[in-house]
A and B are shown apart, each in its own frame.
Chain A
């Protein structure tokens, strides 16, 4: 794993907790660093998408698997 990549496990949490935790985790990062988020709440897909477009952070990956939803966000 890249040393500039951080991970947030938001599995089992429902809206709005994954988004609040993501916002907190992102604010602790330096510009350009990556946050990986794993969540199980289906609402987190739309939430994190609109969070990124509103804050200017870049959604690099947004995918779903049987384990849940996986996101990679680059801090602006």
Chain B
């Protein structure tokens, strides 16, 4: 049982690294199997298709992050707006560490995949969209709490949360294109100043 689990974990970890560092389309099952040291037969036992593998990679990474640094950043013990700074720090240090190992800043796995597959694979697009919605809901919760305690004036929290996520993803994309994580450190903290007011109904 344990070795089965190890095999699956090895495939996932290898795919995660390759999809993130390179791309989805560019990486074949053959290469994943050879780097993960598993037979093609056992690959298909766990993942009937490459799409199934991509779904598992997305779920695995989003769970890991949700329980790891995202939980640490969106800690209820921190002031709601301060959580945004922790989130930016998490992105900055993670990207910086990845760059110092690989030489290239990998960007956001979900952002990379979303750009690559959204027009080609409806199932993966929907899965990635769900990850973004979940991320946006963390921002939304922080904003609602900040309003509740009077730290910020009332605003459209849902739209602002989505705009904050869009800003962060955009900053990561620019930083990746410049191959410079300092872009995240310099621009990231401005995420706190994003505001979208309620539209007047009349």
Contacts and interface: CB of A to CB of B under 8 A. Distances in A.
B75 A16 contact: no
Interface in A37-76: 43, 46-47, 50-51, 54
Contacts of A19: 89, 93
Contact of B78 (A24, A46, A50, A51): A24
A39 B91 CA distance: 19
Given A16-B89, A16-B90, A21 B72 contact: yes
Contact of B97 (A24, A47, A51): A47
Contacts of B94: 15-16
B104 to A, nearest CB: 16
A17 interface: yes
B9 to A, nearest CB: 15
A17 B97 contact: no
A66 to B, nearest CB: 22
Contacts, number: 39
Contacts of A30: none
A23 B86 contact: yes
Interface residues of A, number: 14
A15 B78 contact: no
Contacts of A31: none
Nearest to B101: A43
Contacts of A46: 96-97, 100
A51 B92 CA distance: 11
Interface of A: 15-17, 19-21, 23-24, 43, 46-47, 50-51, 54
Interface of B: 68-69, 72-73, 75, 78, 86, 89-94, 96-97, 100, 185
- Across chains A and B, which 9 residue pairs bring their CB atoms closest together, nearest first? A16-B93, A15-B97, A43-B97, A16-B90, A20-B72, A16-B94, A19-B93, A16-B69, A47-B93
